[in-house]
Amino acid sequence: MGDPEPPRAAGRDAAGTRSALVRAARRRFATEGYRGATVRTIAADAGVNVALINRYFGSKEGLFEACLRRSVDQLDPQGRTAPGDLDRVVTRVVGHLADLPNADDPLQLLLLLRSSGDERADAIRRRMLEHHTEQFARVAGWQPDDPATAPLLLRAQVALGSVLGLVMLRTAIGVQPISSASADELVATLGPLLRTLLAP
Amino acid sequence: MGDPEPPRAAGRDAAGTRSALVRAARRRFATEGYRGATVRTIAADAGVNVALINRYFGSKEGLFEACLRRSVDQLDPQGRTAPGDLDRVVTRVVGHLADLPNADDPLQLLLLLRSSGDERADAIRRRMLEHHTEQFARVAGWQPDDPATAPLLLRAQVALGSVLGLVMLRTAIGVQPISSASADELVATLGPLLRTLLAP
DNA sequence: CGTCCAAGTAAACAACTGCTGACTTGAGTC
DNA sequence: GACTCAAGTCAGCAGTTGTTTACTTGGACG
């Protein structure tokens, strides 16, 4: 069950410790949920003393927030997706779904479905999901200042919700047949769906 | 936070107590997850002594399994959906999504996304999700003994996953705009999606 | 070398978790 | 009315949880 990090580089490196904790926490939070993950296992995974969680993040809740914020920074690393990028978005999304073993990204998506029960963290989570919705909507031609394109937001969110549901089924639950479906099969099934929803 | 049941009928009614516990537990498990829900709050919601959970269900885990099994019995109460019922299925599914306040059903679907960490309960959950997948697939023309129709299973599961993802976004997370979307809007957006996936 | 301070450690606390065992209460039967 | 047994109560145990506190270690600087 334990899946400890490879031995960390130096003995004394605050920044390294912080990031090791966040990396371990994201894995645990995403796979076992907020309550299911314990500070002790997270610290053990990171190869670090438990007390450092409180030292660096104030509380377990603070660590969870840090995980969410790191997701914010990682997604859409630079620039916004532009309208007309439909094919690129589709292949990227399906790629995330298909390559789950090596990629770190499915965990990132799963994290968005976990609740800590704390209202502030949940607000961050909602904001991130709405941000993703807007990114999808932009592909479909949505423009923030054009009310006529507002309905595209709902369509984009349905697309996002579909992807999240599939990540859940395939990665976290492991239900058949989707868990053992190939990338090609996923493209063939999910692709048209996304195209229909996001077509301008 | 506490949302206790209305006062139960009689003082001594084992069957009534059992069902009150299951009803309260389903709400808590679905909304707060397995670890987040505590036996004490569940018992309090049901207006019942904590020890009765262990008496009637052996353990918290046993109560969780009972919740899953009750879902099995409730869904598809009689008869299987037949091919060609596409319209009926679509309106029923969307209805579940739209009427969430009064209906008890969204909780049932959410429950399928919660994990207790116990392998036996997770197996039940997987089996139920696969059962739902087959029900969907049947509508699309899938037949268990005809290998040529096997690909329909994956399409049906994508449909199911989409619905589950949307329930999560709308009911559990409360993200906008889908949380305040009307039934008509949902039909207009989700309907074509399901029709595309499940069309024969 | 001695000083200083951040980085890291160890041990314990208080609260909460699921669960148990001995007990009391109620209703039906003779 | 006494007996019986299931239904329900109560108090507490043993383990785990997040967190804190006092302590030790390591390296940079004078």
- Chain B residues inside the 8 Å CB shell of A130: 175-176
Distance (Å, rounded) from C-alpha A68 to C-alpha B172? 18
Residue of chain B with shortest Cα separation from A173? B126
Under a CB-based contact definition with an 8 Å cutoff, are residues A113 and A164 in contact? yes
Token pair of B142, please? 């899938």
φ, ψ (nearest 5 deg) of residue B21:
-65, -45
The answer to whether residue B21 scores a pLDDT higher than 90 is yes
Residue B57 has pLDDT above 90, yes or no: yes
Could you report the per-residue pLDDT of B132-165, keeping only the tens digit for each?
899 889 888 889 999 999 999 999 999 999 999 9
Which of B28, B127, B164 to mutate: most A Cβ within 10 Å?
B164
Specify whether the CB–CB gap between B42 and B28 falls below 8 A: yes
Judge whether residue A165 has pLDDT over 90: yes
Residue B1's pLDDT is: 45
DSSP label at residue B187: H
Distance CA A33, CA A132 (A): 21
Q: Answer yes or no: are the C-beta atoms of B23 and B46 closer than 8 Å.
A: yes
Could you report the predicted ipTM of this complex, rounded to two decimals?
A: 0.86
Task: Locate A124 and state its tokens.
Answer: 């961050």
Please give the structure tokens belonging to residue B161: 């996953």
Cβ contact B189–A153 (<8 Å): no
Domains and CATH numbers, chain A: 14-71 (1.10.10.60), 78-198 (1.10.357)
Query: Which of B6-15, B76-85, B175-184 has the weakest average pLDDT?
Result: B76-85
Integer Cα distance of B144 and B138 in angstroms:
9
pLDDT (average), residues B69-86:
66
Query: How far is it, in rounded angstroms, from Cα B121 to Cα A60?
Result: 28
Closest nucleotide over all strands to A61 (CA to C1'): D18
Q: How far apart are CA A32 and CA A150, in angstroms?
A: 36
- Chain B residue at shortest CA distance from A195: B193
State pLDDT tens for residues A32-55. Answer: 999 999 999 999 999 999 999 999
Question: Left, alpha or beta for A20 (phi > 0: left; psi -120 to 50: alpha)?
Answer: alpha
Residues of B with CB under 8 A from a CB of A: 32-36, 113, 115, 117, 122, 125-126, 129-130, 133, 151, 153-155, 157-158, 160-166, 168-170, 172-178, 181, 185, 189-190, 192-193, 196-197
CB A108 within 8 A of CB A71: yes
Residue pairs spanning A and B at CB distance below 8 A: 134
pLDDT one-digit tens code per residue, A96-114: 777 766 666 778 889 999 9
Q: How many CA atoms lie within 13 A of A30 on its CB side?
A: 23
Q: Nearest to residue A165, comparing CAs of B195, B30, B129? A: B129
> A72 pLDDT band (50/70/90 cuts)?
low
Distance, Å, B48 CA → D11 C1': 17
Q: Which of A154, A195, A198 to mutate to test the interface with B (most CBs of B within 10 A)?
A: A154
Whether the CB-CB separation of B194 and A165 falls below 8 Å is answered with: no
Q: Percentage of chain B with pLDDT > 90?
A: 57
**Mean pLDDT, residues A1-12 taken together:** 52
What is the distance in angstroms between the Cα of A99 and the nearest Cα belonging to chain B?
17
Pick from A97, A107, A92: nearest CA to A181: A97
pLDDT over 80 (residue A11): no
Cβ pair B149, B139 in contact under 8 A = no
Across A144-170, average pLDDT: 93
- In angstroms, the separation between the Cα of residue A155 and the nearest Cα of chain B is 6
Nearest-Å Rg of the Cα atoms of chain B is 18
- pLDDT at position A62: 96
Instruction: Give helix B183-198 / helix A183-198 axis angle, nearest 10°.
Output: 140
pLDDT band at B173, cuts 50/70/90? very high
* Inter-chain CB proximity A196 and B196 less than 8 Å: yes
Q: For chain A, what is the mean pLDDT?
A: 86
DSSP-derived secondary structure for B76-120:
S-SSPPPTT-HHHHHHHHHHHHHTTTT-SHHHHHHHTT---S-HH
Nearest by CB to A173, which of B32, B129, B170? B129
Nearest CA in chain B to A109: B165
pLDDT for residue B199 = 82
Cα A160 from Cα A154, distance rounded (Å)? 10
Chain B residue numbers touching A113 (CB-CB < 8 A): 113, 168, 173
Between these two residues, B72 and B94, which has the higher pLDDT value? B94
Question: Tokens representing B94?
Answer: 């969307």
The answer to whether strand C lies under 7 Å from the CB of residue A54 is no
Q: Six-digit token pair at A3?
A: 């899946």
**Structure letter (DSSP) for residue A148:** G
CA-CA distance, B140 to B105, in Å (whole number)?
Answer: 23
A112-147 pLDDT tens trace: 999 999 999 999 999 999 988 998 898 888 889 999
Confidence of residue B26 (pLDDT cuts 50, 70, 90): very high
Name which residue leads in pLDDT, B11 or B36.
B36
At A97 the three-state DSSP class reads helix
